[in-house]
Structure formats: C-alpha cells, structure tokens
Amino acid sequence: MFHRTAIHRELNRRLGDVVGGKSAAELAKLGLTTLGDLVRHTPRRYLAGTEMSDFSQLRVGEDVAVVAEVKRSEILHGRATRVHAVITDGHGTLGVSLFVPDKRPGYAKHWLGELSPGARGIFVGRVSVFRDDLQLAHPNFVLLDKVASLRGRRAQEKLAMANVTQRAGLVGLYPATAKLVTWMIADAIALALPQVLPLGDTLPDWVVEQADILPLPQALREVHEPVRLEDAERGVARLKFDEAFGIQLAMAKRREALASRAAIPRPRIAGRALDKFDSTLPYRLTAGQQEAGERIFDALSESHPMNILLQGEVGSGKTLVALRAMLAVVDAGGQAALLAPTEVLARQHMASITALLGELANGGALDSVEHATRVELLTGTLNAAERRRARSAVASGEAGIIVGTHALLTEDVAFADLGLVVVDEQHRFGVEQRAALAAKADTQPHTLVMTATPIPRSVAMTVFGDLETVELRDRPAGRADVKTVFVDTKRNPHWVERAWERIREEVAAGRQAFVVCPAITGSRTEGDVATAKGLSTVTEVTEMLSTGPLQDLRVAMVHGRQAPGERDETMRAFAAGDVDVLVATTVIEVGIDVPNASVMVILDADRFGIAQLHQLRGRIGRGQHPGLCLLLAAPPEDAFTAFDRLQALVDSADGFDLAERDLQLRREGDVLGSAQSGASSLRLLRVLADRDVIAAAKELATEVLNDPRAADDPLLADLIDAAEAISAGEWLERT
C-alpha cells in the first residue's frame, strides 16, 4: 500500500524489520504484524513500579513490582513443598512463597540457593494474605546481582523484567505468549516508541481538536509509560477513537462513493405484477412489512443505488418483503437476482417464491397470465442442459427473477438488465461476492441485503455502516407462541425420556417434530444421548430413536454431508407430512417452513450460541399450533456463560434483545470474525461498551469528509486507505 506521510509509512513497517524474524513470528501470534500494531498493543492491566515499592503502601489484591532484599528463606514441607522467604524494603517485611512442582523436586534447593539472605531482587506478583501476613504467592522474580550471569532466553526475559519494572510510574502487563513474555514485549515497545513519536500525529490537528482527543504521541506515552492510571485511560481512549474513526471514515467514503454512482430508477408501477400479487395474498401484510416495503420502494425509485440491510425477527416475513421488491423491479423492466449461500437454501427460496407467486411465476408459458414473470434457478448441481437453458433465459431477459448460489457469480452467467441484487444470509458472503454480482450489470444495480440473525444496533453501525438498516420486528398474525424449556440432564436425566414422550404426543395429535444435534457422525462414549460425554450425532441419534423410543414413528435425518438431492428429498417429504420426526444438524437453521412442526428437541444445546438457538427455535410455531422447544444439555458446573445463554432463550423470544445478550456474553469474536474463539478483529473497541465512541466517530467522519480541508489532506488519505484495506476483509462482513 502506498503511504503519503512519514508517520503512516513508519506505522506500517513490518515488525520483522524492527524486532527481528523470531520475535516478529511470536508477535504475529498476538495479531501484531506492523510497528503500528505493536505500539497500539495495550496492557491488560498495570502494576506499581519498583520506585513505588514502600511495603507500607501495599494493598491486598494489588499487582505490584517491588525491589527488596531477602531476609531469610527455608524449605517447608506439608501438603505441598514450598520455598518460603521473607523479603524487606528496609522497614517492613513481605512473605514470598514458591510452590515446588511434584515432578521437579530439585527446584526447592535451586530456589533456596537463589533466595539466600542478602540477595537483592525484583519481585512481581499479586499481594495476598496468608496467616494474617501479606505475601506474594509464586511471584515472578529476578535477582539483580545474578542477571549478568544468566544465559539464553531466560537471561533475556529476566533482563527485560529488570529494565521494565525499574522504570518510574506504572508498569504495564501486556497480553503475551509463552516465548515472548510481557517484559520482552514492553522492552520491544520501549525501543519502538522513539521511532514513532517524533513523526507526530496520524490525524490533522484540526481533527484532533474537533474530536477532543489527545495527540497521538502523548497518548502512546501515557499508554506505555503512565504515571497515573487516569493517564493510561486517556491514552487508550485516543487509540479506541482511532479504531472507530478509521472504520467510520471508510464507511462514510463507501456511502459517498455509492451515492455518486448512477443507477436506473425502478419506481413502483401500478396495475402490474406487484399489485396483482398483493391482491391475491390470503393474509394482510404486517405493519412492519408494509413500512419496510415502502422504504425499499422509495429507495428503488432513486437514481443512485439502493443499499439496504433488511434484518428481521425469526418468522417476520423477510422473504415476502424481498419478493415484493423483486416484483417492483421486474414491473419496471429489470431483473432481480437472489443470492443464497447454499444449494438447499436456494432451492427452498425457489420453491417458496414460486408457491407465493402461483400463476404469476409462469411467464413465457402458453397459458401465462398478464404481467407474469419467469423464475429461474441457477446452481452448481444443474446438469449441462439445465444450465444452458437457465443461462439462456437469464441472458435473454425471459427470466425476471433468478435464484441461485455462487453459480450466479461465474463468468458464463450474463444478465439482460440486472436491476436488483438480493443477498440472503449476508454473513456467508463478502464484499467481493456482492461486487462480482453487481459487476454483471451495465449500471450499478440496487442491493438488498438480508439477515435472519438480528444484529445489535452498535454492531450494525460498525459492521454495516455503509448500509441503511431496515428492521422487521413484528411477526405475521396467526403465528403460535413457542414455549422454551431448559433441561439440565445431569440433574434431571428422567427428562430425556419425557422429551421423547412429548414428541410422541405431538405426532399422535397429527403434528411433527425436529431433533437437532451438534454433530453428524462420531464415536460416543457409553451412556444415553443427553448424559454421554461425546457430542450427540445425527446418525447415532437417528438409529437410537428409530429402534428405541420412537420406533413406530417415521424418523428421517438430514445433514450437510448428504448429496443435495437426497437431502432435498427428505426435506420435501418432511414438509409434505410423510416424515414425523426429522433429526438434523443446523442445516435446518434457516429457510425451513413447515407450519405443522410443533416441537423441537435440541441435544447438547450448550454447544450452540444464542443466535443459532433462536434461529433453530424459529423453525417451529410457524402455524396455528403452539410450539415447544426443549433445550437438553449438561454443561459443566463452571460453564456459567452456557447456563446464561440457555436461560436467555427461556426468558426472551425477542431476537433483537437476544442479540444484545449474546454480544454481552461472547463479546465480538463471533460478531466480527475469528469463528468461535472469542477473539475479535477489533483490537480495542468493544461494540457494546464503546457504542458512544463509535456513534461520535461516525458523526465526525461524515463532517470531516464534508470539510474542504479534508480534500487534499495526506494524513486523512492514508487513514482512509488503511481503513478501506481493513473494511475489505472478511470480518467486516460477519454478522
């Protein structure tokens, strides 16, 4: 990436050029690859440095570094062998306990030799109480008169510890690795700061003043060399602002670019397919569907591209809203393409759209009605003849609505006049796929992005800042309530059999059931479904139910490894009522609409997140019959977040509330990337806790881009380039 300014060039230097290859490889494990990453790597907490090591000032629970002299030491034997020493600052005393590992008994004599009376050292640890006396339990320590004699990596660590802890003020404890401890990271940052600080700020002075933040050099000094905790907090606040401002500047720039592009207006035209479709609907649209529809129609009629995120509660009718938008575009002479992440979902959309349209989907047929259009499916599993026919219908414009998977993105697919792109399950696609589909139109098409997982406003503002958000919160009339019950199968194992009885009762009443498992195959330990240590698997649970508690019912299974044809056939049979109980993985999470399904049993429910459980639960209660969702799990006693997640599902049926709760429990890892790790592509920002920072940054980003001073400012140009590079990454497309 080309950088115009010295500060941005320096911050983007690769760490290998600064700290050497080995250290750079270790730092990369922490996600630090540039000099900018390193100096923005903030301590997780601070301790008092050795210049503040008056023992009379120590407080229980405080992390400290103290310089002291060993007064006496001894080996004590009991439940555990330990070396106990008493150290002094010249006035008071402090105990030090080092616990000897059973497998390393030689450590006792080694530590006793090191902690001989008169030895001076630095001791780092947390102050605790033992038998009414203050102590440091198993502290990290370095003896100052022996540092010079140490060799290898241990010497580096101890030297770094001595250097860092003897600085004035507070000492930061950094997230570290086993091979690159906090002291070595602090030493690396201390070496890096003089290369960065003289180069000034990454933002123009007028932006720093307008944002009311510290200048960057001062912020970095206060983060890494603070005198008071308040100073460190002010420094971190500046770094958080930088992160938020960079993202929002990129988003504002993207909105600006979209607004400057031309699009063909697709205004709603009375008396055509959309009006005819509305007149044949057997039910009234909800107020939310009507409002969302009007906002979309208004946007479609503009001469610049629509870019809307439609997010809705489970069962809120997003597909119907999207279909009405597609019909409006078809009425106006264009084509609409719906991009789905999987073949199963694409075929389900195809089936539901053609069913909803009825005779309006028979465009081109001899008996087609006026204003009817043709709906075409384009997926990777079509045979050569089917694909040629579908491509021809799309290229000629004969097909007005096209439903497909990634197959729509291939070079051999051409559209006659692509006017609207609908992206379903947005988190499965990136910017590149959206752009690839949009590139198939001569003029920028309008875009409607759908997600079935409600997104907290703070996340939507951060992750989808380039999209206008439309929410669907109400459910269509006639949908039944779903009762959710969490069963701790460790404490109530008899409830497992009761779960199967409930399924039998529902089937006897003419209804159907889902059983959801977290895995497809695998070897389980002995025991029943809910209490075994292994995960419940679709194949084994299907066999167990078919030959056991549900043996006289029609039980079938679906999962992601089946051939698409086999999976689709089973789902069709279930939808048609030819299967009583469907055992499945999360392949049924979205798009399955079986109004007759009234009960769901989710096994090992603690293995799923809140949003996923809410989506699964949304597969029942879609008709007139009340739903029952049983969450069966035996989480470990210390798995508090698992209990909290499951209880959240019991307490609330509001997907937007649950999304906020999910974010609180799991932070941004699953929201912004990094899969299930709990890590985040955001370094400092927390989209829930820092929503005010994000909102302020968004407002200021728009103001700054509209300011004449921004047009030729190289600092802002570099910042926008860097932010665009981040925003093009996968994390920005996650929900």
Return d(Cα 323, Cα 8) in angstroms, integer. Answer: 47
Does the domain at 1-44+181-200 match CATH 1.10.150? Answer given as yes
DSSP string, 464-490: STTSEEEEE-PPPTTPPPEEEEEEETT
Continuous segment of H or E residues that includes residue 547: helix 538-547
- Domain boundaries along the sequence of the chain: 1-44+181-200, 46-173, 202-264+656-706+718-735, 273-300+315-451, 482-653
Q: Which residue has the higher pLDDT, 30 or 523?
A: 30
Work out the number of other CB atoms within 10 angstroms of the CB of residue 17: 11
Return d(Cα 27, Cα 9) in angstroms, integer. Answer: 20
In tens, the pLDDT along 383-414 reads: 889 999 999 999 999 999 999 988 888 878 89
Return d(Cα 623, Cα 633) in angstroms, integer. Answer: 27
Continuous segment of H or E residues that includes residue 203: none
**Token duo for residue 4:** 């115009």
Q: List C-alpha distances in Å: 466 to 449, 504, 665, 686.
A: 12, 49, 27, 19
Distance of CA 277 to the CA centre of its chain: 38
Summarize the confidence of residues 39-58 as an average pLDDT.
77
**Token duo for residue 21:** 């290859």
Summarize the confidence of residues 248-267 as an average pLDDT.
85
Task: Report whether pLDDT(69) > 80.
Answer: yes
Phi, psi of 702 (to 5 degrees): -65, -40
DSSP 48: E
Q: Which residue has the higher pLDDT, 255 or 318?
A: 318
C-beta separation of 416 from 335 below 8 A: yes
The pLDDT assigned to 196 comes to 95
In tens, the pLDDT along 724-735 reads: 665 554 333 332
Tracing tokens 């109530």 back to the chain, one arrives at 492
DSSP string, 672-729: HSSTTSS--SSSS--TTTTHHHHHHHHHHHHHHHHSGGGTT-HHHHHHHHHHHHHHTS
Pairing of strands 307-312, 446-451: parallel
- How many residues appear in the chain? 735
Summarize the confidence of residues 240-264 as an average pLDDT.
85
512 closest CA partner among 597, 629, 578, 621: 597
Summarize the confidence of residues 256-266 as an average pLDDT.
86
407 closest CA partner among 430, 435, 377: 377
Q: Which residue has the higher pLDDT, 161 or 272?
A: 272
Tracing tokens 């209990």 back to the chain, one arrives at 643
C-beta separation of 160 from 183 below 8 A: yes
Bridge partners, 601 (sequence order): 515, 630
The pLDDT assigned to 461 comes to 63
Tell me whether the CATH fold assigned to 273-300+315-451 matches the one assigned to 482-653: yes
Low-confidence winner among 93-107, 193-207, 519-533 (lowest mean pLDDT): 519-533
Return d(Cα 139, Cα 127) in angstroms, integer. Answer: 10
Does the domain at 482-653 match CATH 3.40.50.300? Answer given as yes
b/e sequence 200-210, b meaning 16+ C-beta within 10 Å: ebbbbeebbee
Phi, psi of 474 (to 5 degrees): -90, 155
Instruction: Tell me the pLDDT band of 629, cut-offs 50, 70 and 90.
Output: very high
Summarize the confidence of residues 544-557 as an average pLDDT.
95
CATH number for the region 273-300+315-451 comes to 3.40.50.300
The pLDDT assigned to 557 comes to 94
Instruction: Tell me the pLDDT band of 592, cut-offs 50, 70 and 90.
Output: confident
C-beta separation of 735 from 426 below 8 A: yes
Summarize the confidence of residues 22-42 as an average pLDDT.
91
Instruction: Tell me the pLDDT band of 338, cut-offs 50, 70 and 90.
Output: very high
Tracing tokens 């029609």 back to the chain, one arrives at 554
Tracing tokens 């404490």 back to the chain, one arrives at 491
In tens, the pLDDT along 422-445 reads: 988 655 455 566 667 677 777 889
Q: List C-alpha distances in Å: 317 to 25, 324, 719.
A: 49, 11, 40
C-beta separation of 720 from 1 below 8 A: no
Summarize the confidence of residues 283-302 as an average pLDDT.
93
In tens, the pLDDT along 461-501 reads: 666 666 788 888 877 666 678 999 999 998 888 889 999 99
Summarize the confidence of residues 74-89 as an average pLDDT.
89
**Token duo for residue 716:** 């802002």
In tens, the pLDDT along 119-176 reads: 888 888 888 998 888 999 888 888 877 765 666 566 677 777 777 776 656 878 888 7
The pLDDT assigned to 463 comes to 61
H helices, E strands: number in the chain:
26, 21
In tens, the pLDDT along 1-14 reads: 567 899 999 999 99
End-to-end CA distance of the chain: 28
**Token duo for residue 431:** 């910017």
Q: What residue spans of 358-492 are helical by DSSP H?
A: 384-396, 431-438, 457-463
**Token duo for residue 174:** 């950094």
Report CA Rg, the chain. Answer: 31
Mean pLDDT, the chain, as a whole number? 83
Summarize the confidence of residues 600-624 as an average pLDDT.
89
Q: What residue spans of 555-654 are helical by DSSP H?
A: 564-575, 610-617, 640-651
Percentage of residues in the chain with pLDDT exceeding 70? Answer: 85
Instruction: Kindly give, in sequence order, each residue whose CB lies less than 8 Å from that of residue 49, ignoring residues fewer than 6 positions away.
Output: 65, 165, 166, 167, 168, 169, 170, 171
Look at residue 17 and give its three-state secondary structure. helix
Q: What residue spans of 116-215 are helical by DSSP H?
A: 152-165, 182-196, 205-211
Instruction: Tell me the pLDDT band of 722, cut-offs 50, 70 and 90.
Output: confident
Instruction: Tell me the pLDDT band of 235, cut-offs 50, 70 and 90.
Output: very high
CATH for the 46-173 domain, from 2.40.128.50, 3.30.470.10, 2.40.50.140, 2.40.10.10 = 2.40.50.140
Continuous segment of H or E residues that includes residue 402: strand 399-404
Return d(Cα 334, Cα 722) in angstroms, integer. Answer: 37
Task: Report whether pLDDT(667) > 70.
Answer: no
Instruction: Tell me the pLDDT band of 630, cut-offs 50, 70 and 90.
Output: very high
Summarize the confidence of residues 273-298 as an average pLDDT.
92
Instruction: Tell me the pLDDT band of 251, cut-offs 50, 70 and 90.
Output: confident
In tens, the pLDDT along 108-122 reads: 898 898 899 988 888
Angle at 125 between CA 122 and CA 130, to 5 degrees: 115
The pLDDT assigned to 434 comes to 63
DSSP 369: P
Q: List C-alpha distances in Å: 454 to 314, 615, 658, 661.
A: 8, 10, 8, 12
Phi, psi of 289 (to 5 degrees): -65, -40
